[in-house]
Structure 1
Amino acid sequence: MGIAERKLRQKETIRAGILASAWQIVQSEGWQSLSIRKIADSIEYSVPVVYNHFESKDAILMEFIRQGFNILSTQLQEAKTATSHPPEQLKAIAGAYWQFALSHKPHYEVMFGLGIPGCEAVKQMEEMKKVSEAMLSAIEKTISAGNSPQADPYLKLHTYWSILHGFVSIQMFSGYQPMVPRKLILEDAVESFIKGIMA
């Protein structure tokens, strides 16, 4: 192995160590406790070494956001391809989204810390774009199969994503305990959404 290859491998090892350490801090203390100083202390390197790999804490957060959207897009695509019927795809996507949020809570928190991403944010990150496209294509097909072909698919995408995010937020951050299981409420809301765009 040449010197250049060795340096590259060392750089990748340090970068992976920074991310692993950051993730451990998040898992044990939460996102609000994450700092460059804590990461540096954890991996036993100086603060400038961390800055050589990530220009800021936000850059580290962005890496976790990218990872989260990559996992989510894979799971939504798998759910979507399990059926060829567009309304059923929307139900499957909703179920996969819900399951992702419950099983990847730290990722979900950083991915949606400021709510649903806007159009510009979606365009800037390929992983986020894939999540949006999985939902949008199922919505467009459902609109085509219904009686309102003039419906705006982008408006419906925002409505659909708002339903999903709203229910996840209630599940994660609210002490509210409904009389029926939350998943049934989500399924009922998605069913109503589908009926609305097919009417």
Structure 2
Amino acid sequence: MSTTERRQRDRQAREKMIIGAARRIAEAEGWAAVTTRRLSDAIEYSQPVLYSHFPGGMSAVMDAVALQGFDELAEVVRASRHGTRSVRTRLARLVDGYLDFAAANPALYQAMFSHQGGLAFGVKDTPANLRAAFGEIVETIRPATDGRDVQVYAEVVWAALHGMAILTRDGRLPPAGRASRTRLLVDVLLH
């Protein structure tokens, strides 16, 4: 292995450590607790090393965490299709998987959808991670579209899921009604 390859591997490992540390701190204490000093201490590297990986500072770190989150969300959505041909089951699994993901990873979900960073949605420059996650929603709901524009249908499904996730997170929807809301949403999507 050349020196250049080793340096690149070490750099990737440090970047992964930074992202992991940011995510752990944010999930435990919220994004306000994730500072360059705190991250530097957590990864045992100086703040200049942190900035060499993320010149955009904490916003760039949150973007990197968000990209990781979109990869994970894509896996969750993809899993909703496995093992069933039933469109109803796929949709119910999509709803449950999405809501479970948002509930289990509140800081990650915040980085993905509430952070005003450099990630653009629905434009030519949308990162591949975001496109892949949305593409998984498209493929999961495609059999339910019944000739309707699958892209628009997926946007509406995503908006409904996001709304349910945020309203649940903020205590605006009672947890006891989740199963009923899931059934109703699936019924609406199938008609």
Relative to the length of structure 1, the TM-score reads 0.80
Instruction: Return the alpha-carbon distance in structure 2 between the equivalents of residues 114 and 2 of structure 1.
Output: 39
Q: Which residue of 2 aligns with 1:193?
A: 189
Q: CA deviation at 1:77?
A: 0.8
Residues 27 and 141 of structure 1: is their aligned pair in 2 closer, same or farther, counting only changes over 3 Å? closer
1:81 is paired with a residue whose SS is coil
Aligned residue number for residue 120 of structure 1: 123
- How many angstroms apart in 1 are the aligned matches of 2:20 and 2:75? 22
For residues 68 and 18 of structure 2, the distance between their equivalents in structure 1, rounded to whole angstroms, comes to 15
- Superposition misfits of 4+ residues, deviation over 4 angstroms: none
CA deviation string 1:139-197 (max 9, x = no partner): 332223xxxx3x3322222221111111111111125537x4223213212222222xx
Match of 1:181 among 154, 166, 177: 177
Partner residue in 1 for 2:7: 7
Letter in structure 1 aligned against 2:47 = V
Shift of 1:82: 2.3
CA RMSD after TM alignment: 2.5
- What does 1:138-153 correspond to in 2, within 5 Å? 138-144=140-146, 149=147, 151-153=148-150
Question: Greater CA radius of gyration, 1 or 2?
Answer: 1
Which amino acid in structure 1 is aligned with residue 100 of structure 2? Q
- 1:137 paired residue number: 139
Superimposed CA distance per residue, residues 15-65 of structure 1 (whole angstroms, 9 cap, x where no aligned partner): 233223322321332112322232123334322111111112222112111
Match of 1:161 in 2: 158
Find the residue that maps to 1:181 and give its secondary structure: helix
Q: How many residues align?
A: 187
Is the 1:15–1:53 contact (alpha carbons within 8 Å) kept by the matching residues of 2? yes
Structure 2: give runs of 5+ residues left out of the alignment. Answer: none
The 1:176/1:97 distance shift into structure 2, 3 A limit, reads closer
What is the CA-CA distance between 1:5 and the residue it aligns to? Answer: 4.0
Tell me the SS of whatever aligns to 2:123.
helix
Superposed, 1:100-115 pairs within 5 Å as 100-113=101-114
State whether residues 69 and 108 of structure 2, in contact with CA within 8 Å, keep that contact through their aligned partners in structure 1: yes
Separation of aligned partners in 2, 1:33 and 1:112: 19
Q: Aligned partners of 1:158, 1:17: CA distance in 2, in Å?
A: 33
**Contact persistence 2:66–2:108 (CA under 8 A):** yes
* Structure 2: distance between partners of 1:188 and 1:18: 41
How many angstroms apart in 2 are the aligned matches of 1:48 and 1:40? 9
Structure 1 counterpart of 2:10, one-letter code? Q
Which AA in structure 1 matches 2:186?
A: V
**TM-score, normalization: structure 2?**
0.82
Report whether the alignment pairs 1:171 with 2:174: no
Structure 1 unmatched ranges of 5 or more: none
Bigger relative contact order, structure 1 or 2 (CA pairs below 8 A, ≥6 apart):
2
Distance 1:119 1:92 in 2: 25
Residue identity matched to 1:68: G
